[in-house]
Amino acid sequence: MLTRLGCDKDNAGWVVTDRTGRTSVAGVWAAGNIVDPRAQAVAAAGTGSSAAFAIHTDLLDEDVDRAVDQHRQAAAAVRQPTARQCQCQTAYSHSHKTGSPSMTADAPRPVDSVTEQTYTARVLQAERPVLVQFWATWCHPCRMVTPIVEQLAAEQSGRLDIVKVDLDAEPGLAAQLGITSVPAFVVYTGGRPVGSWVGAAPKHVLEKKLASILGAGSDGR
């Protein structure tokens, strides 16, 4: 079967794979000992587990990327009114010379990254409250929550600053602040941490957490 699929083989006739069992054909993994049937059960227990984990990881990556794309596409659709909405806005504007209220949501905006060198100025010395998101490129929940954080950054502009710290790029800063799990969030006011939590959550949950922490002030931690 693997030969008919076109998988590469070595000189001894073995199907060539990487350490996870991935073959030269996209989407095809090989596991077990296909030369000696007596070793099949033992080999499959090890290589089969590696291949299954690799397949799960690849599928999870695709699901996360798809979910993030869908979220951003939905946000873009909200920001771009239909022709009917445009006509309504135009008619309202003509009948109210003072201007029409906005009918579109705030556009998500990228969140600035801070480093160990800029952390003091951007966070500890900030005039407004600051929400710091600690994340990593390999963290699936971090990627899921990123569009939500970007939306909050746009909606809270002028009231709350939002920045992010990459754990892999700033391991010293993360260690100094005691961050061991991601995604992690810390809220600062007046240069002091007043609240924190770990884990991704829907937008309304993040808004509720922020409102509770900022409303409670220094007692919100």
DSSP 32: S
Pairing relationship of beta strands 130-135 and 161-166 according to DSSP bridges: parallel
Residue 10 and residue 23 in contact, taking contact as beta carbons nearer than 8 Å:
no
Residue with tokens 């600051």: 130
Alpha-carbon gap, residue 221 to 212, rounded angstroms: 10
- What are the residues facing 132 on neighbouring strands? 163, 186
Distance (Å) of CA 195 to CA 16, 114, 154, 163:
52, 19, 21, 15
Active-site annotation holder among 7, 86, 88, 142: 142
Annotated catalytic residue 142: yes
Residue 181 and residue 200 in contact, taking contact as beta carbons nearer than 8 Å:
no
Q: Where are the alpha helices (DSSP H) in the chain?
A: 40-43, 49-79, 83-95, 119, 140-155, 171-176, 203-216
Annotated catalytic residue 139: yes
Residue 148 and residue 204 in contact, taking contact as beta carbons nearer than 8 Å:
no
Fill in the amino acid letter for 170: E
DSSP one-letter string for 50-62? HHHHHHHHHHHHH
Q: What are the catalytic residues? A: 139, 142
